[in-house]
Structure 1
């Protein structure tokens, strides 16, 4: 039995870091390449998809608020169907943690440690992820809460000092330059990213004051898309869409514009350290869910013995999943959105089936 849980403030802080972290590091280039100046509209559409997905997930979780979906799901679907669906969710979280780890490995190697092999970075980072997963979900959310205020300060500093370099004459393009195909393509690419919020259903029993969860999630989505819109808007005003779409890591190029004094040429080591910690928290969350789902499927009383062995598999998968950064980006742009949307629709299937079964049961009791 758990003796502590996740507060509503921790949910807001965690989700803001959850969305902001990997988006600014690994998704902004693809989005700008697809949508150009319509990227801000696409982000807003992604936020709406997150709201819809959150409503679905919370409605499903509230029907059995103190139980895990891996446990009660077999009451909704036949056991083998439930096993298949939860297996897909496990693979989504497990593969997601390996995918993000590989993206971070490529970032560190290309920017700071060019002669270092991927497996070395993977082992170091994989070890910390395994340790965080063993500490538990409550510790993970507390860590995010502690990092939140440092992150907000870093974002504000970046915005203020980069603001002097922005070319405001480009802002008219946000009103005049529109392309429906770009909006459609960008929305399809980015919506699965925001729909990852549905993963909260796997930790719903840990959440305290559950009746306030819907409101907290909505505020988290609102603040997250606001921060991302500010970031993308700054990128477009600073570099323009053509240059931005050809940068490998635009967040790094942006922070290198910051020069406060002669003794501080730039702040990129500090800001990148803060951003790296955000990425670490998100990967740990995905990995924790994968381990927890697997442990519950096998009816294990304690998931922690699985952490280091599965972390080793994650590291191996991250090293071998793609030949190079270009191949990884191609998968992320073309294959991942469809795969993610399919898996993220699984909670909707549970909700629909549960609703149908409740309706049939009610009709059988009261045929008139």
Structure 2
């Protein structure tokens, strides 16, 4: 891995921007209807447990990256195969995030622009940022974090003053009981966005104060989960369940409806800016994890040399992954959050932790 160090605050900022990423764009957990905010909070609680799992693996092997400790726990051949599968999966998620970005811009402003051009522009910036290393990415995150939160607080105040929220849209709570909410948690919100924090297993070895990285990560996940839940509650409170379900980007529709004192309106440009920033960081971290994992697995001495070919592969995948945005979302719900993400973000890490626990207990009993 590269010789880099990031502070606890930088880790906190990266996790928060990463979690918000594309989760603010889509109608997350809307299958739970007006209880979507509750499904997000329960998913966040599961996400806190999953981060603890990832941190425990890091605790057992603080000097090793996931591709290295997978080989120790599963054997060289199986460990390398699973590590390679993770690399492919990281590239796939990065491509999906890039597609989200392109579709949002085409819907919002660039209707006549080809999707390839829009995606290529962001991909070039991601390639540049990743090639510079994790320290540069973390410092950039520090700069944008304050700006993002300022926009979020300003937007919340404007929504409150515009008196758009109808609290009746969030009632009745648990109309069909807890089971529909639980189903959404296990099929959607646990894996996306909270399970995706597994990618930070590649970044934890860079943290200066490793002991405090656990609490920092837990706090960042909790704060991001609360933010996403509040955002979804506001979307439903303003648009209602039906409009939120039908809208490809409900937060955009919510912000477009803000009108204060008959002159403060059309604030969707601020939504676009903040979304582009969050998506940039989320995609960059996945690309970075794929690059470093590949460099370790295939013993590449200069990891930055992989960023350009990986960037081209992700760009190509983002265009060919689906023929339309509706198909893109449907594929994500059908295969991504139900099968692929649980396998890579929940089952395999739990299996690895169980093996690590047994191995370490066996070693300690022999000493």
Which residue is 1:355 aligned to?
Answer: 357
Task: Quote the offset at 1:262 in angstroms.
Answer: 5.8
Q: Distance in 1 between matches of 2:84 and 2:4?
A: 28
Which residue is 1:10 aligned to?
Answer: 10
Task: Quote the offset at 1:265 in angstroms.
Answer: 3.2
Which residues in structure 2 correspond to 1:1-368 (within 5 Å)?
4-28=4-28, 31-32=29-30, 34-163=31-160, 164-174=163-173, 177-187=175-185, 188-193=187-192, 194-260=194-260, 264-337=264-337, 338-344=339-345, 345-363=347-365, 365=366
Q: Contact 2:27–2:250 (CA<8 Å) still a contact in 1?
A: no
SS of structure 2 residue aligned to 1:9: helix
Q: Contact 1:35–1:179 (CA<8 Å) still a contact in 2?
A: no
Deviates more, 1:194-203 or 1:334-343: 194-203
Q: CA RMSD for the aligned pairs?
A: 1.8
CA offsets 1:130-155 (integer angstroms, 9 cap, x no match): 11110111211221221111111111
Q: Which runs of 5+ in 2 are unaligned?
A: none
Task: Quote the offset at 1:362 in angstroms.
Answer: 4.5
CA offsets 1:199-242 (integer angstroms, 9 cap, x no match): 21111210111111111112112211111121111111111111
Q: Distance in 1 between matches of 2:168 and 2:96?
A: 38
CA offsets 1:176-208 (integer angstroms, 9 cap, x no match): 624434213311211101111122111121011
Q: Contact 1:97–1:314 (CA<8 Å) still a contact in 2?
A: yes
Task: Quote the offset at 1:261 in angstroms.
Answer: 5.8
> What TM-score do the two structures reach when normalised by structure 2?
0.93
Q: Distance in 2 between matches of 1:138 and 1:47?
A: 27
SS of structure 1 residue aligned to 2:153: helix
Q: Distance in 2 between matches of 1:65 and 1:255?
A: 44
Q: Distance in 2 between matches of 1:109 and 1:290?
A: 27
Q: Distance in 2 between matches of 1:184 and 1:169?
A: 23
Rate the CA distance shift 1:48–1:147 in 2: closer, same or farther, 3 A.
Answer: same
Q: Distance in 2 between matches of 1:3 and 1:333?
A: 38
Q: Distance in 1 between matches of 2:247 and 2:218?
A: 32
CA offsets 1:18-74 (integer angstroms, 9 cap, x no match): 11221110242xx21x10122122111111111111111111101221222323432
Q: Distance in 2 between matches of 1:310 and 1:196?
A: 20
SS of structure 1 residue aligned to 2:302: coil
Q: Which runs of 5+ in 1 are unaligned?
A: none
Q: Distance in 2 between matches of 1:341 and 1:278?
A: 23
Q: Contact 2:116–2:319 (CA<8 Å) still a contact in 1?
A: yes
Deviates more, 1:301-310 or 1:110-119: 110-119
CA offsets 1:69-118 (integer angstroms, 9 cap, x no match): 32343222211110111112111111100111112111212221111112
Q: Distance in 2 between matches of 1:3 and 1:124?
A: 29
Task: Quote the offset at 1:264 in angstroms.
Answer: 4.6
Q: Distance in 2 between matches of 1:262 and 1:241?
A: 27
Task: Quote the offset at 1:358 in angstroms.
Answer: 2.9
Count of aligned pairs between the two proteins = 361
Q: Distance in 1 between matches of 2:61 and 2:75?
A: 18
